[in-house]
Amino acid sequence: MTSSTNMRLRLPLLCIILEVILIILFGALVEYNDDTHAKLWNANKSHSATRDDYENEFYYRYPSFQDVHVMIFVGFGFLMTFLQRYGFSSVGFNFLIAAFSLQWATLMQGFFHGMHHGKIHVGVTSMINADFCTGSVLISFGAVLGKTSPVQLLVMAIFEVTLFAVNEFILLSMLGANDAGGSMTIHTFGAYFGLMVTRVLYRPNLDKSKHRNSSVYHSDLFAMIGTIYLWMFWPSFNSAITNYGDPQHRTALNTYYSLAACTLATFAFSALVNPEGKLDMVHIQNAALAGGVAVGTAGEMMLTPFGSMIVGFLAGTISVLGYKYLTPVLESKLKIQDTCGIHNLHGMPGVLGAVVGAVTSALASPGVYGDGLQRVFADAETGKWNPQSRGGFQAISLAVTLGMALFGGLVTGFILKLPIYGAPPDTHCFEDGLYWEVPGEEEGHELNEVATPNEMEKLNS
Amino acid sequence: MTSSTNMRLRLPLLCIILEVILIILFGALVEYNDDTHAKLWNANKSHSATRDDYENEFYYRYPSFQDVHVMIFVGFGFLMTFLQRYGFSSVGFNFLIAAFSLQWATLMQGFFHGMHHGKIHVGVTSMINADFCTGSVLISFGAVLGKTSPVQLLVMAIFEVTLFAVNEFILLSMLGANDAGGSMTIHTFGAYFGLMVTRVLYRPNLDKSKHRNSSVYHSDLFAMIGTIYLWMFWPSFNSAITNYGDPQHRTALNTYYSLAACTLATFAFSALVNPEGKLDMVHIQNAALAGGVAVGTAGEMMLTPFGSMIVGFLAGTISVLGYKYLTPVLESKLKIQDTCGIHNLHGMPGVLGAVVGAVTSALASPGVYGDGLQRVFADAETGKWNPQSRGGFQAISLAVTLGMALFGGLVTGFILKLPIYGAPPDTHCFEDGLYWEVPGEEEGHELNEVATPNEMEKLNS
Amino acid sequence: MTSSTNMRLRLPLLCIILEVILIILFGALVEYNDDTHAKLWNANKSHSATRDDYENEFYYRYPSFQDVHVMIFVGFGFLMTFLQRYGFSSVGFNFLIAAFSLQWATLMQGFFHGMHHGKIHVGVTSMINADFCTGSVLISFGAVLGKTSPVQLLVMAIFEVTLFAVNEFILLSMLGANDAGGSMTIHTFGAYFGLMVTRVLYRPNLDKSKHRNSSVYHSDLFAMIGTIYLWMFWPSFNSAITNYGDPQHRTALNTYYSLAACTLATFAFSALVNPEGKLDMVHIQNAALAGGVAVGTAGEMMLTPFGSMIVGFLAGTISVLGYKYLTPVLESKLKIQDTCGIHNLHGMPGVLGAVVGAVTSALASPGVYGDGLQRVFADAETGKWNPQSRGGFQAISLAVTLGMALFGGLVTGFILKLPIYGAPPDTHCFEDGLYWEVPGEEEGHELNEVATPNEMEKLNS
């Protein structure tokens, strides 16, 4: 194979062309919304006697946005630094494709979710939604981690963001689905899209790089930074775009309990499946988060803390078991090489979350929700609300998502297979050195040399 | 001793049993509160013409909660990664016992602090309180760090959370004490409880593991992540559950100044007590935080920035001196092996904070507080307020806390001494390898092998 | 040279004297403001029927403050840990000088920005402003990183904070400049001040320490923690002290887009300027942030997302090119040894931001801003507003800032040149061991020794 991994022209060209296109489209299509526009906000204010600056949506959404932002850039970025020699790429490419995706997502989501006189309106809510869409791309990144060039990743992001917006439009606008925390739109979609991409990009000789496809002591600690941030801020993630008031508050609370229960399940099963009862960092880093994924749909509903804990416990359990027993089978039988095990963290827990959401929707009743019913189920306002059919639509939404993700991943995978992107050879996967200037030598030697105790003593005398 | 450290059955059994009990109790006892319940929130809203979704307590407490949450999981977790070979356990067991404790604390605190028709009501305030209680357990964890199995830690958490809730009830509800930032309830209690536990678990042969009871270069940097997050968010911690308005604002401000002054004291005394004038990472990592502990009670009062700075400066000073001169004595004379030096960070500064709180309470006057007096001192509302007796009750609260902590730690210590928990032998303390799958080898060799410059050149050509 | 680097007396004396002075001045001059004072807040509340505790500025400024606080302590602190043997000093000295500067800045800014009956009023806004001023000192720290003792850094902070406050007063109060995110007051000032200091402190024999003036693999990952936090929270930084409502919301949005575009430019040009197309961590760590600097003045204006993206793209481009082509020339021709390349991250992008601000001011019109005009341009309220002259004043502000920074840096540099501060010799720059107790040995050996597989097996049996 003559393909070079040199990025000197490919990466700059793609980045610059993409950014120029983005800038042109933003210039033509994007406007400040009513809460960010100097003229519109102040005009609206004077129309309403009681409305004041404190009621700008900024004050009620921005703290959630910042937590989501941390999850996208620190959470995902550092979670993937567990590989011994792929830390620069994990956090660096995560940074690059997230910075691109959030811009592209603003356009795609704006286009599908309703233009205003031909313009896309932006503000803190569009920022959250763009970050959500970006999260989906980063999930897929986890499946192909270490095996793709940054150019491939950007191309994947172009397609995935687009299809994400289409799928989101079908679910939220056409099927009227509930999915505030994105069990379906973000996690299920991102996972199965990524799994299909990595299936198409199957590398039969990947074991030539297997000595690098593992962690070292400190890389696992860096990864725990990502894990802990994802875990802590997941309540903010699931509640970031719910309705104000009780739904947002309740979503955060449900997610908090689900994650706590999930963590105990993760530690329990991680020790149980190991012959010596030793805990596995891979499980702790990943499976402990499955509880957040699994209440992404039902979190805003009256799931109760009790229900949230059961869901979280189940999610942690299936996630650990997936890492232990399913991932090896997926690789050997189905040729799915899933570097981060996204099937266990986002795939199965995402489907679980969709099912829990469908069931919880179907069980909803005015007796439980009172006047709050229509705050959660939008069609309750129209009077056409029927819990069983709502549950049915939720189930259909899951099916649509799986179909869109698998089909989209298939097509995108074949596009990414073209030998023009500078993908790493099988012998050099999971290796920063291909795309990064890596500092020459490790400290060991240097350290003892810099100053002898004698010299030090003199200096300090 | 025939005790095995194998966790294969012990840890899963305990985790699963505990989580099942938690789920059952939550199912029986826990309900959404008025601000998280779909029916109740919306019913309340329509009763009050002016109340709207923006006034949900979520918007006024949740940012504080998130900061506290970061302190509990990143702050405590990474602060303890300073040991060279105990990073997985530090951040991992911190994660496990915190996830358990916050659930158990929700029940215990809910039970003692007032049930509503037999139900415990939960929302963002209960989340903050549960995290606070968890903080106390993590302080005690610092004393026994490296010398306990995860099963022991969970058992310790069961007892400590329970006693924390009892002590908190006595202080806040019976004695009417002020302690918003927990100088007494959290820091003093957690410290002396943990010190007593580690006293009972005294290991005469611990020096067999002493080569591992120290840091390496990068482990100290990981620990600084914890330190800095604790330092930055301490203003949020101390102010998280004060009354709204000026008390919350003032608490954050006082804590900010106390910590800044404390940091200068820490650097000053760390250099002063070293023969060569070199700074000690242990002091910087820990003593710089003592200023937050020491204004945990008086922070909400009219302590003034000036007063806060004096308290912070004193706290930093005694904390550094404690690390240097007291910790070795505690170990050699009193047989208290305090891995993280919690006596210096939480013990003495907690007592200082309690004393400062008592004095500041005794000096309070309507002339200084105006109509704000009863916002800080609840009994000022009843007219029975007497500053001197208030100060006296604060002092009694400290005594009660010390008694509860020492007694609780004693009993818990003896329970933890039973040879059934898989505690590490004296020769293998401070060692991740007992309870974790640790990656096989360090990078050194691997790194230089992965790709020779020649290969790289070919790949990039 | 007989100068000793021993800090045993110097550092403690300076820290203690400074803190005592601060405490005395705070005692004499500083008071709670209306929103933090128990008496004043509650008195104000009862005068206004509708004002309640939820309207305390705490709830609208504190989340921004916390993000800024993270940038100052984690962002700057960890960004500078990239050096292989200077991590303790980077994050530690950052901590020390920031803790001092925020106290000193509170006094200086309070003095210049308006006393209230001889008293400085403090609250969350003064906390943000003090952190901003601190940021400026930390920028200068980047230029002299590795070449100064902590005593020198504290002395530098004393002078820089003072001059910062003077410059800020001239710009904001006398010239009526807009500079909410500090392109001029923070970045341009801090950069050129620091560059002049490092010029005066020029070390002709610095290449004796050049083997330590570079990164290692894990130090680059620690630095990325700083980078990512700065990047994520920059929207909060630029918007932290704008007017409430649309200006704050818009500033965050503009900064978000500018940074995203800047990141793509950074990756593009980093690959382009490398012969093998490899990315350089120095660029990613720094240049990707230039987009935040460059919209520090215009961010609150109607720059549009489109305009923000153009500015961000330009900023990233000049920053990478600066690192590649300008920094070596500055060092060889102008004798400016700029350790972190602050000229590329804060200097040039700061000037760009000032120019963009001047142009955007000059182009402002009531047609675009409507009633929001005076919310952004304070003098529009007085009727004396003239966009061209506003733009002119912005340009004058840049010139004043450059003059103040260069003059201040010159004087401060000569003060820091005195041989009394224990500065490191040329042979021991970039070395923690001079000022810190550094743990004795790296892990390598220790690790394999702690427990043989056989021992482990026995323990787990």
- Interface mutation target, options B13, B21, B30, B41, chain A, most CBs of A under 10 Å: B41
Q: In Å, how far is C391's CA from the nearest CA of chain B? A: 37
- Beta strands (DSSP E) in B25-117 are 30-32
Cα(B76)–Cα(A214) distance, rounded to whole angstroms? Answer: 27
- Tell me the per-residue pLDDT of A393-402, one tens digit each, with 9 for 90 and over: 999 999 999 9
Residue type, B127: M
Compare all CA atoms of chain A with the CA of C437 and give the residue at the minimum distance. A456
Element (H, E) at A31: strand A30-32
- Tell me the per-residue pLDDT of B244-288, one tens digit each, with 9 for 90 and over: 999 999 999 999 999 999 999 999 999 999 999 999 999 999 999
- As a whole number, the mean pLDDT across chain B is 93
Cα(C364)–Cα(C360) distance, rounded to whole angstroms? Answer: 6
Cα(C168)–Cα(C164) distance, rounded to whole angstroms? Answer: 6
List of chain C residues with pLDDT < 70: 1-3, 46-51, 440-461
Cα(B67)–Cα(C130) distance, rounded to whole angstroms? Answer: 21
Dihedral angle computed from the Cα positions of residues C169, C172, C177 and C179, in that order, rounded to the nearest 10 degrees: 100
- Tell me the per-residue pLDDT of B110-145, one tens digit each, with 9 for 90 and over: 999 878 999 999 999 999 999 999 999 999 999 999
Cα(B100)–Cα(B450) distance, rounded to whole angstroms? Answer: 42
> Helix, strand, coil proportions of chain A in percent (round to 5)?
75, 5, 25
Cα(A332)–Cα(A245) distance, rounded to whole angstroms? Answer: 48
Cβ-based neighbour number of residue C157 at 10 Å:
27
CB C351 within 8 A of CB C292: no
CB A197 within 8 A of CB A156: yes
What local confidence, expressed as pLDDT, does residue B3 receive?
A: 60
Would you say residue B344 has pLDDT above 90?
yes
Would you say residue B443 has pLDDT above 80?
no
Name residues 41-100 of chain B within 8 A of C (Cβ): 55, 59-60, 63, 67, 84-85
Would you say residue B455 has pLDDT above 60?
no
Q: Which residues of C touch A451 (CB under 8 A)?
A: 428, 431, 433-434
Cα(C415)–Cα(C197) distance, rounded to whole angstroms? Answer: 10
Would you say residue A309 has pLDDT above 70?
yes
Residue type, C313: F
Q: Which residues of B touch A247 (CB under 8 A)?
A: 38
pLDDT band at A454 (very low <50, low <70, confident <90, very high): low
Element (H, E) at A87: helix A87-112
Top CATH class of C9-36+62-417 equals mainly alpha
Tokens of C58: 């705490």
Name residues 389-418 of chain B within 8 A of C (Cβ): none
CB A428 within 8 A of CB A86: no
A123 vs C372: CB contact, 8 Å cut-off?
Answer: no
Contacts of A158 (CB under 8 A, 6+ apart): A18, A104
Q: List the beta bridge partners of residue A215.
A: A83
Q: How far apart are the first and last CA of chain C?
A: 62
Using CA of residue C240, residue C242, residue C246, residue C250, what is the dihedral sign?
Answer: negative
Residue type, B348: M
Dihedral angle computed from the Cα positions of residues C338, C344, C346 and C348, in that order, rounded to the nearest 10 degrees: 120
- Tell me the per-residue pLDDT of B11-48, one tens digit each, with 9 for 90 and over: 999 999 999 999 999 999 999 999 999 999 988 876 66
Of A257, A313, A442, the CB nearest to B447: A442
What local confidence, expressed as pLDDT, does residue A113 receive?
A: 84
Contacts of C350 (CB under 8 A, 6+ apart): C183, C184, C186, C187, C188, C189, C191, C293, C294, C296
DSSP string, A159-227: HHHHHHHHHHIIIIIIS----TT-IIIIIIHHHHHHHHHHHHT--TTGGGGGGGSSB-HHHHHHHHHHH
C250 vs A36: CB contact, 8 Å cut-off?
Answer: yes
Q: How many residues does chain B have?
A: 461
Residue-wise over C434-444: b if at least 16 C-beta within 10 A, else e? bbbbbbeebbb
Tokens of B173: 């509800």
Cα(C32)–Cα(C53) distance, rounded to whole angstroms? Answer: 16
Cα(B356)–Cα(B352) distance, rounded to whole angstroms? Answer: 6
Using CA of residue A82, residue A86, residue A92, residue A98, what is the dihedral sign?
Answer: negative
pLDDT band at B448 (very low <50, low <70, confident <90, very high): very low
Q: Phi-psi category of A309—alpha, beta or left, where left has phi over 0 and alpha has psi -120 to 50? A: alpha
Percent of chain B with pLDDT over 70: 93
Is residue B272 less than 8 Å (CB to CB) from chain C? Answer: yes
Cα(A385)–Cα(C429) distance, rounded to whole angstroms? Answer: 71
What local confidence, expressed as pLDDT, does residue B459 receive?
A: 60
Is residue A252 less than 8 Å (CB to CB) from chain B? Answer: yes
Is residue C380 less than 8 Å (CB to CB) from chain A? Answer: no
Quick check: pTM over 0.90?
yes
Contacts of B150 (CB under 8 A, 6+ apart): A267, B7, B11, B89, B93, B96, B97, B435
Q: Which residues of B touch A257 (CB under 8 A)?
A: 26, 103
**Where is pLDDT greater, at B363 or B447?**
B363
A53 vs C214: CB contact, 8 Å cut-off?
Answer: no
Cα(A316)–Cα(C298) distance, rounded to whole angstroms? Answer: 47
Q: How does DSSP classify residue A322?
A: I
Tokens of A47: 């129309």
Q: How many residues does chain C have?
A: 461
Residue C215, helix vs strand vs coil: strand
Residue type, C64: S
Tokens 């041989």 identify what position?
C419
Q: How does DSSP classify residue C279?
A: B
Q: In Å, how far is A124's CA from the nearest CA of chain B? A: 16
Cβ-based neighbour number of residue C295 at 10 Å:
36
Of C231, C277, C370, the CB nearest to A39: C370
CB A236 within 8 A of CB A285: no
Q: Which residues of A touch C257 (CB under 8 A)?
A: 26, 103
Cα(B225)–Cα(C223) distance, rounded to whole angstroms? Answer: 12
Q: In Å, how far is A368's CA from the nearest CA of chain C? A: 30
Of B6, B53, B450, the CB nearest to A244: B53
Tokens of C173: 């109060």
CB pairs below 8 Å between B and C: how many? 259
Q: How does DSSP classify residue C182?
A: -
Q: Which residues of C touch B244 (CB under 8 A)?
A: 53-54, 56
Tokens 């970045």 identify what position?
C187
**CA-angle at A75, arms to A69 and A78, nearest 5°:** 130
Residue type, B382: T
Cα(B143)–Cα(B58) distance, rounded to whole angstroms? Answer: 35
Q: Which residues of A touch C84 (CB under 8 A)?
A: 439, 443, 446
C250 φ, ψ (degrees, to nearest 5): -65, -40
DSSP string, A324-366: IIIHHHHHHHH----TT-HIIIIIHHHHHHHHHHHHHHHT--H
- Arithmetic mean of pLDDT, A276-298: 98
CB B343 within 8 A of CB B323: no
What local confidence, expressed as pLDDT, does residue A379 receive?
A: 82
CB B297 within 8 A of CB B184: yes
- Interface mutation target, options B5, B9, B224, B363, chain C, most CBs of C under 10 Å: B224
